[in-house]
């Protein structure tokens, strides 16, 4: 394939990942990491960018969708895990987050009364439009999205350049987990982008695009997908590092609860009310196209597995998203953390096993052992985020290597995979 096509598809992948919702995390990381910014951002990039690219590449190994990855464990697991992925990126977190980011950056900065009435009014209009358009998704939305991504990228670039030129505050001391373990805290924060699990759902789009270009060899598709991922990754690193640095330098002694507030306030400081309004409109339109895309993708997936027509599923998804969005952006972020801490380790292990699949000849027992052990420990981590402990195992889990860094599942995953391998070669007729 010509390098031009590679860059075009790489930019398409960049646009898929460069959702307006993802803009809210790097500025907060920068503000809280302060002098530990480099270490924190490195950890964030690994899970927020590196892992999604690996996930997209893993999807190039399958023919249809992410269920095939999970089917290595068991078809039921493949179905349930993929359902959880679509629910997370769809009505539970992804779609409501997009709506509330639009509100935070386009409406809230201009309100003197920050009660929930403004949010309810905004989301009512937002989701009504989302539902109507998702009933008949056309190329118009795709075309708007194609133009909006460059415009949003340009707006962020202008904001960052202005920030570099005028914000000269010294970096603050790190706070929270960034004080002692900035790298690992940033690593876990990268989960919140949801891009790795989104890549499991959307990776097939990239794979099919390459196939439409005439690439049919499996190895060629894998290599091309990886190259396109690197193109997208470079762009994402530039964006995340820049707005993260903006958050680190833009300190006015105020406490910000999310990155939307930081970006909106920075735009206001640099360019006044007009700058805030323009950035808010661009972000809101980008959030709208993202929401339509997520409603369509999620509804299309569930219409394949449950006996309901697409319009009914789309209406249910939109209604759930509407109700959750009105809990506010901070609540959405807070409740998404336990779920993502549970899902991400399972996704990581599943993706890595896909790459080393030939080494253990694809034995299902390896997948099952690794996933079962990982699930137990990632569930414990998720429950800990909810201040719920499992009394019989909590005392032992804390002894695991990397537990204090949120990675206590790593050793159990390795042990589970090894046990599965030993079982499979011992009872090969039953487990291979």
> For the residues of 208-230, what is the DSSP string, one character each?
HHHHHTT---HHHHHHHHHHHHH
Q: What pLDDT is attached to residue 142?
A: 61
368-396 residue pLDDT tens: 999 999 998 898 888 888 877 777 776 77
384 Cβ contact list (under 8 Å, min separation 6):
none
Question: Taking Cα atoms as reference points, which of 236, 244, 231, 32 lies closest to residue 159?
Answer: 244
pLDDT band at 431 (very low <50, low <70, confident <90, very high): very low
Do residues 183 and 38 lie in contact, with contact meaning Cβ atoms separated by under 8 Å?
no
Question: Taking Cα atoms as reference points, which of 255, 65, 20 lies closest to residue 156?
Answer: 20
- Rounded to 5°, the CA angle 65-67-69 comes to 95
- 203 vs 237, more confident: 237
Q: What pLDDT is attached to residue 432?
A: 44
Q: What percent of the chain has pLDDT over 70?
A: 92
Backbone angles phi, psi at 308, to 5 degrees: -130, 145
* Domains assigned to the chain: 3-334 (1.20.1740.10), 356-432 (no CATH)
Sign of CA dihedral 197, 198, 204, 206: negative
pLDDT band at 143 (very low <50, low <70, confident <90, very high): low
Q: Indicate if the pLDDT at residue 147 is higher than 80.
A: no
Do residues 412 and 376 lie in contact, with contact meaning Cβ atoms separated by under 8 Å?
yes
157-199 residue pLDDT tens: 888 888 888 887 888 889 888 998 999 999 999 998 888 888 8
d(CA 159, CA 266): 8
281-329 residue pLDDT tens: 888 888 888 888 889 889 989 998 999 999 999 999 999 999 999 998 8
Least confident of 29-33, 39-43, 109-113, 418-422: 109-113
Do residues 342 and 158 lie in contact, with contact meaning Cβ atoms separated by under 8 Å?
no
d(CA 77, CA 70): 6
Tokens encoding 6: 């590679």
Burial of 228 (0-12, 13-18, 19+ CB in 10 A): buried
Q: pTM of this prediction?
A: 0.86
Q: Give the mean pLDDT of 126-154.
A: 77
Question: Taking Cα atoms as reference points, which of 351, 343, 333, 381 lies closest to residue 52?
Answer: 351
Q: How high does pLDDT run on average in the chain?
A: 86
Do residues 279 and 160 lie in contact, with contact meaning Cβ atoms separated by under 8 Å?
no
d(CA 252, CA 167): 10
Sign of CA dihedral 151, 154, 156, 162: negative
Tokens encoding 326: 């009105």
d(CA 154, CA 173): 31
């Amino acid at each position: 394939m010509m390098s031009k096509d590679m860059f075009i598809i790489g930019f398409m992948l960049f646009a898929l990942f460069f959702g307006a919702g993802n803009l809210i995390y790097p500025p907060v990381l920068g503000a809280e990491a302060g002098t530990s910014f480099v270490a924190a951002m490195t950890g964030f990039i690994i899970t927020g960018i590196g892992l999604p690219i690996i996930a997209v590449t893993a999807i190039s190994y399958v023919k249809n969708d992410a269920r095939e990855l999970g089917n290595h464990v068991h078809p039921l697991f493949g179905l349930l895990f993929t359902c959880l992925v679509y629910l997370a990126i769809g009505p539970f977190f992804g779609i409501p987050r997009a709506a509330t980011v639009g509100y935070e950056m386009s409406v809230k900065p201009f309100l003197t009364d920050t009660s929930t009435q403004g949010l309810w009014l905004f989301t009512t209009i937002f989701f009504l439009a989302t539902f109507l358009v998702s009933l008949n998704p056309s190329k118009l939305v795709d075309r708007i999205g194609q133009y909006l991504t460059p415009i949003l990228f340009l707006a962020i670039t202008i904001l960052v350049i202005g920030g570099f030129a005028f914000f000269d505050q010294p970096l603050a001391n790190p706070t929270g987990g960034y004080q002692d373990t900035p790298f690992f805290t940033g690593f876990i924060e990268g989960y919140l982008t949801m891009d790795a699990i989104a890549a499991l759902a959307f990776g097939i789009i990239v794979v099919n695009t390459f196939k439409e270009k005439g690439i049919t060899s499996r190895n060629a598709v894998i290599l091309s997908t990886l190259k396109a991922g690197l193109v997208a990754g470079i762009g994402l690193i530039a964006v995340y590092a820049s707005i993260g640095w903006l958050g680190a330098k833009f300190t006015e002694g105020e406490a910000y609860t999310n990155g939307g507030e930081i970006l909106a306030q920075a735009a206001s400081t640099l360019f006044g009310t007009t700058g805030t309004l323009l950035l808010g409109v661009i972000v809101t339109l980008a959030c709208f196209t993202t929401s339509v895309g997520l409603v369509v993708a999620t509804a299309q997936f569930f219409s394949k597995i449950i006996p309901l027509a697409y319009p009914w599923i789309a209406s249910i998804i939109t209604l759930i998203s509407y109700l959750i969005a009105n809990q506010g952006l901070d609540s959405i972020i807070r409740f998404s953390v336990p779920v993502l801490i549970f899902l991400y380790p399972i996704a990581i292990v599943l993706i890595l096993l896909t790459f080393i699949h030939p080494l253990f000849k694809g034995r299902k027992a390896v997948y099952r052992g690794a996933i079962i052990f990982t699930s137990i420990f990632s569930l414990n981590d998720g429950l800990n985020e909810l201040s719920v402990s499992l009394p019989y195992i909590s005392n032992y889990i804390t002894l695991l290597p990397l537990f204090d860094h949120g990675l206590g599942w790593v050793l159990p995953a390795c042990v589970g995979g090894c046990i599965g391998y030993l079982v499979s070669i011992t009872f090969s007729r039953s487990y291979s």
